[in-house]
Chain A
């Protein structure tokens, strides 16, 4: 497996972007708009010149003496609005990256029937597939995706995210995804970094970021738990999901197959004993971690993280290793399709 190493600084308009990161599989950088996310990708692609070092394995793309031009790096960059060439057909867009595997790529991305269409005739999802095929035709050593889902409407977004997950798993390339949407980041990458004003605030698995955010900003930004599982029942408007950790939870969202149950930490209550209220979903478990965020505490119980006030954490005498019950309403959850 190849490794992309970056350790660079780039002055932007109101702050300096710094990024020291080793990328082996998929890493998602998440942050508010204007945090410098796109600049990270532009720097790796060679479209801007930072100072520092960028290398793919032992192939140096940037250091004090070296600056490889974009055409001399092996980068597959998928632009936010896809940047397909409007004057070329789908087939010729893909062939622009490299002629050797055009037929195979059109086949693989299910766009063979669109080979002679122009980008203006395609839907958002189709454009993304063309952009990915074109980037891969380049035979890249690194794949960079800039806000891959933001150009899509909410309706197609779920389907395309699922498709993208499946594809990313087969690529086997160091991949960097930037997005402003934490849920997309958590769904697409095993490692998520939070980028704020050009600085990497925290890097970790999605679950770590939710349960142990390094600061209040990360806590507010990382948002929801994403609990993986599969749908086992659909009855009376309730969808039952068996989580990978074994528990069954219910959601009012309709879904089938593999899903992620999305629930926000502040919608999860914590009790020491089984409280029988209208909350339908109960998760018993050991307290995995306690993490203070401002005047609140993030408590991880089994797979789910709750956010409670410092006062109630003290009242409940919550401690790591102790036992607690996390509860949340079926109406407080959303289901997103996931790839297995």
Chain B
């Protein structure tokens, strides 16, 4: 009996932890009937937020991949003085409080800021806020993915007559692809949930800068059901992203060759 006590305690603690993580999410769906949730999704507040979120996320993620990939590759393949410092600087927005991120963006792009632009409180500001907080996740993961490519494969490609560009596209990129996709999924999830930096830098104008998380915040003071509907929508999207991420991570080249073998021999 005595020996069973620690095990029982561990199971009880685990049950509490699990319930704590699962119940709030379940509550979103349980509080309002599914039919009502679906109906709420057709209100203008929700559709506007959905469009703003989809548009700004898409643009921000394209920018992140376009500019982040070369930066990650250079940081992964070159060693120079200040390399560690540079990587730390890239990672800093990851741990920065979002409010500070918003403040920083205002201090740079604000009318009275360093660059003195009229970007704040426009849709461009949403894109910049999302890119600022989400890109370090992509870049960090992409650096790890590029570093995992065997340098001998790069050397082999070069001795076989391929220059640096051809080597990148035919050897490095295909081998790092899984890691890059995983990093992009993480950055996408982080960007979709962005709240603090966006509300400070872009405000919360319905149909212009009001993304899904901002719409939840505005709605829940007025109409809790709408907030719940938005919440349910984000839960579904986030869960889908997580599944995609897990699929991408398990779909590495080694697995691919074995499944290929299976398909071929069957």
Could you tell me which A residues sit within 8 Å of B by CB distance? 42, 45-47, 69-71, 73, 75-77, 79, 81, 83, 85-87, 96-98, 116, 118, 120-121, 134-135, 137-138
Kindly list chain A residues whose C-beta atoms are within 8 Å of the C-beta of B155. Answer: 42, 45, 47, 70, 77, 79, 83
B242 CB-CB contact with A under 8 Å: no
Known: A79-B152, A121-B261. A86 touches B158 (CB 8 A): no
One of A70, A86, A118, A121 near B159 (C-beta < 8 A): A70
Task: For residue A191, give the distance in angstroms from its CB to the closest CB of chain B.
Answer: 24
B159 touches A85 (CB 8 A): no
Choose, from B53-61, B139-147, B205-213, B252-260, the stretch at the interface.
B252-260
A71 to B161, alpha carbons, bound, how many Å?
4
B158 touches A70 (CB 8 A): yes
One of B160, B171, B254 near A97 (C-beta < 8 A): B160
B interface secondary structure, majority: helix
B174 CB-CB contact with A under 8 Å: yes
B260 touches A138 (CB 8 A): no
Could you tell me which B residues sit within 8 Å of A by CB distance? 150, 152-153, 155-163, 170-171, 174-175, 253-254, 257-258, 260-261, 264
A98 to B258, alpha carbons, bound, how many Å?
27
A104 to B254, alpha carbons, bound, how many Å?
29
Known: A83-B153, A86-B175, A87-B174. A134 touches B253 (CB 8 A): no
Contacts A/B (CB < 8 Å), 26 sampled: A45-B155, A46-B159, A47-B155, A47-B158, A69-B163, A70-B159, A71-B158, A71-B159, A73-B159, A77-B156, A79-B155, A79-B156, A81-B152, A83-B155, A85-B153, A86-B153, A86-B175, A86-B257, A87-B174, A96-B157, A96-B170, A97-B161, A118-B260, A118-B261, A120-B257, A135-B160
B161 touches A98 (CB 8 A): yes
A45 touches B153 (CB 8 A): no
Kindly list chain A residues whose C-beta atoms are within 8 Å of the C-beta of B264. Answer: 116
A47 touches B253 (CB 8 A): no
Centre residue among B150, B158, B163 by max chain A CB count within 10 A: B158
A37 to B158, alpha carbons, bound, how many Å?
20
Task: For residue A50, give the distance in angstroms from its CB to the closest CB of chain B.
Answer: 16
One of B159, B161, B258 near A47 (C-beta < 8 A): B159
In the A-B complex, the 8 residue pairs with the closest CB atoms: A70-B158, A118-B257, A83-B156, A83-B152, A77-B159, A97-B160, A120-B257, A87-B174
Chain B residue nearest to A98 (CB atoms) is: B161
A3 to B153, alpha carbons, bound, how many Å?
28
A75 to B161, alpha carbons, bound, how many Å?
9
A69 touches B171 (CB 8 A): no
Kindly list chain B residues whose C-beta atoms are within 8 Å of the C-beta of A75. Answer: 159
Centre residue among B157, B160, B174, B254 by max chain A CB count within 10 A: B160
A42 to B154, alpha carbons, bound, how many Å?
13
Centre residue among B156, B170, B175 by max chain A CB count within 10 A: B156
B158 touches A69 (CB 8 A): yes
A71 to B261, alpha carbons, bound, how many Å?
33
A134 to B153, alpha carbons, bound, how many Å?
13
A96 touches B162 (CB 8 A): yes
A47 to B264, alpha carbons, bound, how many Å?
38
Kindly list chain A residues whose C-beta atoms are within 8 Å of the C-beta of B162. Answer: 71, 96
A87 touches B156 (CB 8 A): no
Task: For residue B165, give the distance in angstroms from its CB to the closest CB of chain A.
Answer: 11
A77 to B153, alpha carbons, bound, how many Å?
12
Centre residue among B150, B161, B253, B257 by max chain A CB count within 10 A: B161
Kindly list chain B residues whose C-beta atoms are within 8 Å of the C-beta of A45. Answer: 155, 159
One of B150, B161, B175, B253 near A83 (C-beta < 8 A): B150
